Amino acid sequence: MMHYDFDEIIQRSDTDCVKYDLRKIVFRDGDVLPMWVADMDFRTPDFIISALRKRLEHEILGYSFRSKGFSSAVVNWMKSRHQWEIRPDWISFSPGVVPAINMIVLAFSQPGDKIIVQPPVYFPFFSAIENNGRTRVDNPLKMINGRLCMDFEDLRSKSTEAKMIIISHPHNPGGSVWTVDELQQLAAICLENNVLMISDEIHSDLVYSPHKHIPLASLSEEIARHTITCNAPSKTFNMAGLATSYLIIPEKALLDRYNHMLNDELHLSGGNLPGTVALEAAYNKGSDWLSQLLGYLQGNIRLVMEFCKNYLPAIIPIIPESTYMVWLDCRNLGFTDEELNEFFIRKARLGLNEGRQFGPGGEGFMRMNIACPRSVVLEALQRLKHAI
């Protein structure tokens, strides 16, 4: 088995990289240490780069389609990684999970319809609802013993008039891996009220033992018929720039309706050739690399937890069960949200995501991306210690 070096420092500036090259715009400072947008500072795996290079040896990049290899790679990955047996004809395409959610909102709801989200949560969920003229309904998560948990009583009261719910599974930014019991409770409420379930499972490969990702639609045939699963290899294998995601929609009527939006109304079904090649390589050859990545990320998480405990007691990291984000509870610092963001940028010289972006319950928090060499994580923590 090949050993991968996640300690390597790779210069990303001046590569049209959102994380580094937009610092001046996002943080009004081009020199902050960026630990915000959800991609990794590790090399995209060699087997993906090799597959792309091989395809580029054929020097025609004309119109292309996704062959059976695309679907079979997804089918095999779901079975081997998540013990979920799906069919190739359940799979559709999107340039990304966020575009997929926007298309789903357009295809399966009408202006004014109520759509439930569970803040604090990935904030593009909000814009997918509000920018398309739908009504956002918050079912806020509750912090219980240092873990974000669903409020089922509140969900039950708000589901009676809702058209759909969009969940982050596993949860971004809190890192909760929803259990079978939690998912079954959620599904029971949604089925009772005919609420379509949209499950964003893009972080599903980034789950730390002993936790295990359970695809929502895998729980039963009835749940599968009322669920649209959105996923991609982009977070797992650091290939977000290739804009290739997929949806799993077991119910044919829902699949046909989505495909009509994708193909006939928005003409987005073509995708891109490099993204297809990369997905097949990632899912066919990526298991060993992913195992090593998860071990390294767990080491970074331990570093954050221990450092905060020993040197930054006013900041309480929420232990992530998944993702490479750490949700930092900074409320003990006593800042307003504006002051907290300015403190991180001006004093600590760090560029993180503000918690308030993620909606109610995010006030006083910051989201920290630890998918980078350990020396960079340590540098960020030392900057924070010095600033405090």
195 and 244 share one domain:
yes
149 and 279 share one domain:
yes
Residue 100 CA to residue 127 CA, distance in Å, equals 13
229 and 129 share one domain:
yes
Residue 195 CA to residue 161 CA, distance in Å, equals 9
237 neighbors 225 (Cβ within 8 angstroms): no
76 and 150 share one domain:
yes
Tally the residues of the chain. 388
Residue 10, in any domain of the structure: no
Please identify, among 233, 254, 284, the residue that sits at the C-terminal boundary of a domain. Answer: 284
List the beta bridge partners of residue 91: 248
Residue 191 CA to residue 310 CA, distance in Å, equals 47
List of residues 6+ apart from 10 with CB closer than 8 A: 41, 42, 43
* Secondary structure of residue 280 in the 3-state scheme: helix
Q: How far is CA 149 from CA 96, 119, 219, 264, in A?
A: 27, 11, 19, 39
Encoding tokens for residue 271? 């995708």
CB hemisphere CA count around 101 (13 angstroms): 31
Phi-psi map region of 296: left, alpha, beta (phi>0 left; psi -120 to 50 alpha): alpha
Encoding tokens for residue 17? 């990289």
Per-residue tens of pLDDT for the chain, all 388 residues: 799 999 999 999 999 999 999 999 999 999 999 999 999 999 999 999 999 999 999 999 999 999 999 999 999 999 999 999 999 999 999 999 999 999 999 999 999 999 999 999 999 999 999 999 999 999 999 999 999 999 999 999 999 999 999 999 999 999 999 999 999 999 999 999 999 999 999 999 999 999 999 999 999 999 999 999 999 999 999 999 999 999 999 999 999 999 999 999 999 999 899 999 999 999 999 999 999 999 999 999 999 999 999 999 999 999 999 999 999 999 999 999 999 999 999 999 999 999 999 999 999 999 999 999 999 999 999 999 999 9
List of residues 6+ apart from 291 with CB closer than 8 A: none
- Bridge-based pairing of strands 350-351 and 91-94 is unpaired
What is the per-residue pLDDT for 1?
Answer: 77
Percent helix, strand and coil across the chain, each to the nearest 5:
45, 15, 40
Residue 228 CA to residue 59 CA, distance in Å, equals 37
Residue 30 CA to residue 367 CA, distance in Å, equals 19
Positions of E strands within 220-352: 227-231, 245-248, 316-318, 325-329, 350-351
CATH code of the domain in which 266 resides: 3.40.640.10
209 and 164 share one domain:
yes
Please give the biggest Cα pair distance in the chain. 59
Q: Which domain holds residue 222?
A: 61-284
249 and 307 share one domain:
no
What is the per-residue pLDDT for 271?
Answer: 85
Query: What does the DSSP 8-state code read for residue 322?
Result: B
Neighbouring CB atoms inside 10 A of 163's CB total 20
229 and 299 share one domain:
no
354-388: burial string, b at 16+ Cβ within 10 Å, e else: bbbbbbebbbbbbbbbbbbbeebbeebbebbeeee
Domains of the chain: total: 2
41 and 75 share one domain:
no
Write the burial class of residue 43 (CB in 10 Å: 0-12 exposed, 13-18 middle, 19+ buried).
middle
366 neighbors 352 (Cβ within 8 angstroms): yes
* Secondary structure of residue 247 in the 3-state scheme: strand
262 and 144 share one domain:
yes
What is the per-residue pLDDT for 144?
Answer: 97
Residue 11, in any domain of the structure: no
145 and 256 share one domain:
yes
Residue 207, in any domain of the structure: yes
Residue 317 CA to residue 306 CA, distance in Å, equals 10
Residue 79, in any domain of the structure: yes
Encoding tokens for residue 377? 């994580």
What is the per-residue pLDDT for 329?
Answer: 98
Residue 7 CA to residue 362 CA, distance in Å, equals 31
